[in-house]
Structure 1
Amino acid sequence: MSLDSGLETGLGSGTDPDGNRPGPAATHAAGPGEHTVLLPRISTDPLDDLVERVRPTLSQAVDSLHVAAALEADGLTDRGARVEYGYQDVFALSTEVYRRLGPRLPRPRDVRVRGNRSWRESLRLISHGPLYVLPCTAFPAVLAIVGRRSLVLGLVFAGVLGWVYAGVASHAAYRMLGLGRPRAAGRILIVATLTVPVAGAAAGAGLVWLTGGGVALVAMITCQVAYQLTSTVMVFYRREPWLALVMTPAFLIGVAYLILGSGLRPWSAAVAAGCVVAAFLLAVVIAVRRARAAAMAEPPLRAALRPEVPALVGVGAYGLCSAVLLLHAAAPYLLGSLDVAIAAAPLILTMGVIEWRAERFRPQAAALMRRVERPRAFVRGIWQLLARETAICLLAPAIPAAAMLAGLYHLGLLSAVGIVMTAAHVALGGAYLLAFLLAGRDRFGWLCWSMLAAIVAHVGIGALLGSAPLLGRSGPALVDTSLYLGSVLLLQALFVLGLAPILGQAVRYR
């Protein structure tokens, strides 16, 4: 029962025999000794109480499905809809609630619809893949300087360190930015960018002490982790064109070295290092200037980060597992067959496309929610959307992979092992889309356990079959790479299983 804001005058006010509310308040003159009594208007429809209760949160509801999602999130079931309100199910009730809420209030003009991205924003996201590839043309010159064994150790070690470092720093910075603390976000990026070369140099020195390799290996690891943090800062502040401009000379001199030969070897390595240093300094300057430009006062950074520690630990663990998943299978072959060593190139080149489709998933789900009328139709549509986006993220690396395999075949460098390893990395394109969606829902625990299960399946079954290079069992390479492909498909299934309970929940796309 709810109390209406209007007041009835007189003792006889209430409802007519049909249960309808009376019209305008009836008034009778108070006689001598009589008092005028004011009674509240009583609602005879319990649905009125529900409508008024949800109005503050659902005044901007886009449709009845939006209302149904909110009611279900509030604990209302189909049985409750029947017993308490007399409607067949929650959706039938939400249709009436949406009607009674009245016309939707216009949104403020300064609120931007997230799904309305321009082609420039899409191109910015897609460009991330080529940005990751730009320094790769310097690796042949570095290989000739440090040697194959040191190069492999450095790539794996720096890849893991940089992946974890950049992932934690970017997540913390985005969290601070989302909380309206741009100065804190800038400070996080500044500290991370300035400390990562020190961490890289220390890690490289430790690796050299354990395995050998010399000063060149330390310099290579330092430059690699510095570039990963540099690209993180540039992406955060949307300065990708500047990063591409600074790194272009390194890319061009690396290509020239591949074409013209060893005479350009020192130039290729030196120009690549110089470009990384220049990009690093530019990233620091940008972060400092943007942090100083934030004029608002903010709480201390340590206090702001304290609630985020569990999430940052999850992000760090996810980054570590991702790096190990990607590198553990390829590492034993980086010293051998070229077609296996470069099998990940198509995936790295198209990671921007995968990131773009992951960013577009939520706006597309919200648009689907506005189009359909029944929860069952939404669930069916969201799974169809996931299947379509996964297919796109498989096709994106498959196209350059097919071109790369054709070129290797033409040069007589293609083997069955290389084909299988390339197929495994193409399959990782779909797996990373699913991983982005799970990470967006903070399912880092599921992500880590799923990737660990895939790694254990690959290495463990390989050990049983006598083909596990990481454990010193150098069996048939085709068996090992086929097991890796199977573990990636297992990973996809585990990710889908993790999304199953939450993907069709309409309340997550409000």
Structure 2
Amino acid sequence: MTQPPSSRDIDALIDPMGTGVFRAVEPLQVAAMLESQGLNDKVARELYDHTSVFSLAETAYSHIRSKGAPPPGSTGFLKRARPVAQILHGLLYALPAALLPAASGLVGTQWLMPGLVFTTGLGWVIGGAATHLAYSLIGHGHVRSAGRVLRTGMLVAVLGVAMLAGVITGLRDGPVELIALCIMQVTFQIASGILLFYRREGWLGLIMMPAVVAGVAYIVIGDSDIGLLTLGVGFACILACVAGALRLTLTRNPAGDAAEPPLRLLARANVRALLPWVLYSTLSAVFLLQAEARYVLDRTDIAVAGAGLVIGMGILEYRAHAFEDETRAAIRQVRYPSDFTRRGRWLLAKGVLICLAWLAVLSVLPLAFLLGKNELTHASIAMAAAHVIVGGAYFLAFLLGNQGRVVPLCVAQAAALAVHPLGRLLLPAGAPALADVLLFAAAALLFLLILLVLMSQGLRDVRQYS
């Protein structure tokens, strides 16, 4: 009869799992790790004198607990949170806003703002789909193919926006310059996303700085000739962003890399997983942009009130990664799943409150601007508050998305859309803008609460945080 496994045998068994095994909070997790190493019931019986993998896992788990945690300083994982870089993402995305006064002077606000709303939505969906697919390909080791997906996404976005802006211009007899401005906007949107994908925040800020300076100069001087020069500088900076982005997608893959399958086959294999992401991106773009689009011309006080969310998107991204780091660290400090669930809920509440607090502070900026222009209204204050709530929901959406729980995200976003804009149909004719904005805030609150429940319940599944 085989002798029961000794302490040395168990050490040899768990060593290949590395420090990750010390994050197990129950024997079932150890059993899953053993099975991932190829160990089955037959091996457990013949080599370790246990009736099953689960019986062996219980012994291994007890042995792990007797050894304690890994040595101090051994984290066992790379931290995903990068405070400065990630917090700046929102501000970096907003840099082209410095060019808006000059662009408005060229084509007029009545054309520029609706055009930018539509092109931003289209770029949001296409850019998000391309980035998600690229991350998936890199996760499978297909680095060159990921670069091709990002380049293709840029091309598709530019062509799509050119056609969309052309239709708007043709049907409404608008200025042809609008097409060029919309293309500039979506090109920056996709190119900046690629630069951030490759963690080149410094490049993006440095490349766009001349455009920001030129935009500020136009605001100070206000001359039409300076406006054309400003847009020329902005165009050159955006081209430089494109060049930097394309270089990254092309040069990240040495010629000696192993051959990869054709991109069409890789894309086809990932299309089923990609479709829910495209649906969620579309629903999110519709939910946020439709609430603002109707006010971009005649109620700019409401339209600009949510600018704090744009600036604060980087904070949401950073806090999402920080939450993941904190939960993975918490797994090392608890013994039972119930302990982790309690700790995780506290960390979740802390993350939501921090995001809401920061967004509330940032929302003061556009409201202070409106106050200085004597245009602050109850509706603009309500819109700013609604965007703070939306931001809290987006923080939770980041967490759920990182766990691959996209279908529940789509359902939650659809529920919010059922409240606004569909609920707007129930408002009496001639209802004030404040009523519509409050309805949007109610939809945002529903979205936030649904996601909060989903995340809170998900903390019971410890495996996805290990």
In the superposition, the TM-score normalised over structure 1's length comes to: 0.79
Q: Which whole-Å CA distance do the structure 2 matches of 1:334 and 1:124 have between them?
A: 31
**Is the CA contact (8 Å cut-off) linking 1:58 and 1:67 kept in structure 2?**
no
User: Is structure 2 residue 312 aligned with structure 1 residue 356?
Assistant: no
* Aligned with residue 412 of structure 1, among 352, 360, 374: 374
* Aligned with residue 453 of structure 2, among 497, 502, 506: 497
**Aligned residue for 1:155?**
116
Q: Which whole-Å CA distance do the structure 2 matches of 1:116 and 1:420 have between them?
A: 34
User: Is structure 2 residue 184 aligned with structure 1 residue 223?
Assistant: yes
User: Is structure 2 residue 82 aligned with structure 1 residue 126?
Assistant: no
* Aligned with residue 141 of structure 2, among 159, 180, 185: 180
Between the two structures, name the one with larger relative contact order (CA 8 Å, sep ≥ 6): 2
The one-letter code of the counterpart of 1:375 is P
* Aligned with residue 281 of structure 1, among 243, 246, 261: 243
**Deviation at 1:411?**
3.0
**Deviation at 1:254?**
1.2
**Deviation at 1:42?**
5.9
**Deviation at 1:113?**
2.1
SS at 1:291's partner residue?
coil
**Aligned residue for 1:365?**
327
**Is the CA contact (8 Å cut-off) linking 1:250 and 1:275 kept in structure 2?**
yes
**Deviation at 1:441?**
1.8
SS at 1:336's partner residue?
coil
Structure 1 residues 428, 73: CA separation in 2 closer, same or farther (over 3 Å shift)?
farther
Structure 1 residues 293, 423: CA separation in 2 closer, same or farther (over 3 Å shift)?
farther
**Aligned residue for 2:421?**
459
**Is the CA contact (8 Å cut-off) linking 1:226 and 1:276 kept in structure 2?**
yes
**Aligned residue for 1:337?**
299
**Deviation at 1:179?**
1.1
Equivalent residues in 2 for 1:289-328 (5 A)? 289-292=251-254, 295-328=257-290
Equivalent residues in 2 for 1:430-449 (5 A)? 430-449=392-411
Q: Which whole-Å CA distance do the structure 2 matches of 1:53 and 1:450 have between them?
A: 47
**Aligned residue for 1:507?**
463
**Is the CA contact (8 Å cut-off) linking 2:34 and 2:57 kept in structure 1?**
no
**Is the CA contact (8 Å cut-off) linking 1:183 and 1:294 kept in structure 2?**
no
Give the structure with higher Rg (CA). 1
Q: Which whole-Å CA distance do the structure 2 matches of 1:359 and 1:172 have between them?
A: 20
SS at 1:160's partner residue?
helix
SS at 2:253's partner residue?
helix
Structure 1 residues 474, 324: CA separation in 2 closer, same or farther (over 3 Å shift)?
farther
User: Is structure 2 residue 152 aligned with structure 1 residue 191?
Assistant: yes
**Deviation at 1:70?**
4.7
**Is the CA contact (8 Å cut-off) linking 2:113 and 2:296 kept in structure 1?**
yes
Structure 1 residues 66, 250: CA separation in 2 closer, same or farther (over 3 Å shift)?
farther
**Deviation at 1:114?**
1.9
Deviations 1:5-36 (A, max 9, x none): xxxxxxxxxxxxxxxxxxxxxxxxxxxxxxxx
**Deviation at 1:461?**
2.6
SS at 2:94's partner residue?
helix
Q: Which whole-Å CA distance do the structure 1 matches of 2:74 and 2:242 have between them?
A: 35
The one-letter code of the counterpart of 2:25 is L
SS at 1:333's partner residue?
coil
Q: Which whole-Å CA distance do the structure 1 matches of 2:443 and 2:415 have between them?
A: 8
- Equivalent residues, number: 443
**Aligned residue for 2:40?**
none
Deviations 1:216-274 (A, max 9, x none): 11112211111111011101122121111111111111122222223422222222222
Q: Which whole-Å CA distance do the structure 2 matches of 1:390 and 1:313 have between them?
A: 28
Comparing 359-368 with 54-63, which one deviates more in the overlay? 54-63
Deviations 1:107-148 (A, max 9, x none): 9x999722276xxx3211111111111001111221222223
Q: Which whole-Å CA distance do the structure 1 matches of 2:190 and 2:256 have between them?
A: 22
* Aligned with residue 114 of structure 1, among 78, 100, 122: 78
**Aligned residue for 1:62?**
22
Deviations 1:301-336 (A, max 9, x none): 222222211121111111111111111111111112
Deviations 1:40-94 (A, max 9, x none): 3365x9x99xx8998588664115515454559999xxxxxxxxxxxxxxxxx98
Gaps in structure 1 of 5+ consecutive residues? 1-39, 76-92, 467-472
**Aligned residue for 1:32?**
none
**Aligned residue for 2:52?**
none
Q: Which whole-Å CA distance do the structure 2 matches of 1:289 and 1:438 have between them?
A: 32
Deviations 1:363-383 (A, max 9, x none): 210111111222222111111
**Is the CA contact (8 Å cut-off) linking 1:357 and 1:433 kept in structure 2?**
yes
Q: Which whole-Å CA distance do the structure 1 matches of 2:433 and 2:332 have between them?
A: 51
The one-letter code of the counterpart of 2:460 is G
Structure 1 residues 199, 111: CA separation in 2 closer, same or farther (over 3 Å shift)?
farther
Q: Which whole-Å CA distance do the structure 1 matches of 2:378 and 2:291 have between them?
A: 16
Structure 1 residues 148, 64: CA separation in 2 closer, same or farther (over 3 Å shift)?
closer
User: Is structure 2 residue 62 aligned with structure 1 residue 99?
Assistant: yes
**Aligned residue for 2:51?**
none
Deviations 1:343-372 (A, max 9, x none): 221111111111011112222101111112
**Is the CA contact (8 Å cut-off) linking 1:362 and 1:509 kept in structure 2?**
yes
Q: Percent identity?
A: 34
Q: Which has the higher helix share?
A: 2
**Aligned residue for 1:19?**
none
**Is the CA contact (8 Å cut-off) linking 2:91 and 2:312 kept in structure 1?**
yes
Structure 1 residues 73, 456: CA separation in 2 closer, same or farther (over 3 Å shift)?
farther
- CA RMSD in angstroms comes to 3.2
SS at 2:286's partner residue?
helix
Q: Which whole-Å CA distance do the structure 1 matches of 2:104 and 2:34 have between them?
A: 60
**Deviation at 1:211?**
2.8
The one-letter code of the counterpart of 1:206 is V
Q: Which whole-Å CA distance do the structure 2 matches of 1:369 and 1:474 have between them?
A: 55
Q: Which whole-Å CA distance do the structure 2 matches of 1:239 and 1:309 have between them?
A: 28
Structure 1 residues 98, 476: CA separation in 2 closer, same or farther (over 3 Å shift)?
same
**Is the CA contact (8 Å cut-off) linking 1:66 and 1:369 kept in structure 2?**
no
Equivalent residues in 2 for 1:27-42 (5 A)? 40-41=1-2
**Aligned residue for 1:392?**
354
Gaps in structure 2 of 5+ consecutive residues? 36-55
